[in-house]
Amino acid sequence: MDAGRVALITGITGQDGSYLAELLLDKGYTVHGLIRRASTFNTSRIDHLYRDPHDEEARLFLHYADLSDGSRLVTLIERVRPDEIYHLAAQSHVRVSFDEPEFTGDVTGIGTTRILEAIRESGLPTRFYQASSSEMFGATPPPQSETTPFYPRSPYGAAKLYAYWMTRNYREAYDMYAVNGILFNHESPRRGETFVSRKITMAAARIASGRQDVLYLGNLDAARDWGYAKEYVEGMWRMLQVDEPDDYVIATGTSYTVRDFLDFAFGHVGLDWQDHVRFDERYLRPTEVDALVGDASKAERVLHWKPQTHTPDLARLMVDADLARIAEAQRL
For the beta carbon of residue 93, count every other beta carbon within 10 angstroms. Answer: 16
Q: Pick the stretch among 58-66, 241-249, 263-271, 283-291 that binds ligand GDR (CB under 6 A).
A: 283-291
Among 7, 21, 73, 222, binds ligand GDR (CB under 6 A): 222
Q: Pick the stretch among 60-68, 70-78, 144-152, 273-281 that binds ligand NDP (CB under 6 A).
A: 60-68
Euclidean distance between CA atoms 81 and 272, whole angstroms: 53
Among 131, 176, 202, 205, binds ligand NDP (CB under 6 A): 131
Q: Is 297 a catalytic residue?
A: no
Q: Lay out the site mask for ligand GDR across 178-197 (x = CB under 6 A, - = otherwise).
A: ------xx--------xxxx
Which one of the listed residues 135, 162, 164, 188 is annotated catalytic?
Answer: 135
Q: Does 217 bind ligand GDR (CB under 6 A)?
A: yes
Q: Is 18 a catalytic residue?
A: no
Q: Does 234 bind ligand NDP (CB under 6 A)?
A: no
How does 211-249 read in b/e, with b if 16+ C-beta sit within 10 Å? eeeebebbbeebbbbbbbbbbbbbbbbbbbeeeebebbb
Contacts of 251 (CB under 8 A, 6+ apart): 134, 183, 184, 225, 227, 293, 294, 295, 296, 307
Contacts of 250 (CB under 8 A, 6+ apart): 181, 182, 183, 184, 186, 227, 232, 235, 236, 294, 296, 299, 305
CA neighbor of 182 nearest in space, from 154, 149, 153: 149
Q: Is 156 a catalytic residue?
A: yes
Among 70, 101, 218, 267, binds ligand GDR (CB under 6 A): 218
With residue 250 as reference, give the H or E element that holds it. Answer: strand 248-250
Q: Pick the stretch among 71-79, 83-91, 273-281, 303-311 that binds ligand NDP (CB under 6 A).
A: 83-91
Q: Lay out the site mask for ligand NDP across 24-53 (x = CB under 6 A, - = otherwise).
A: ----------x-x-x---x-----------
Q: Does 15 bind ligand NDP (CB under 6 A)?
A: yes
Q: Which is nearer to ligand GDR, 60 or 314 (CB)?
A: 314
Q: Is 112 helix (H, G, I), strand (E, B) or coil?
A: helix
Positions annotated as catalytic residues are 133, 135, 156
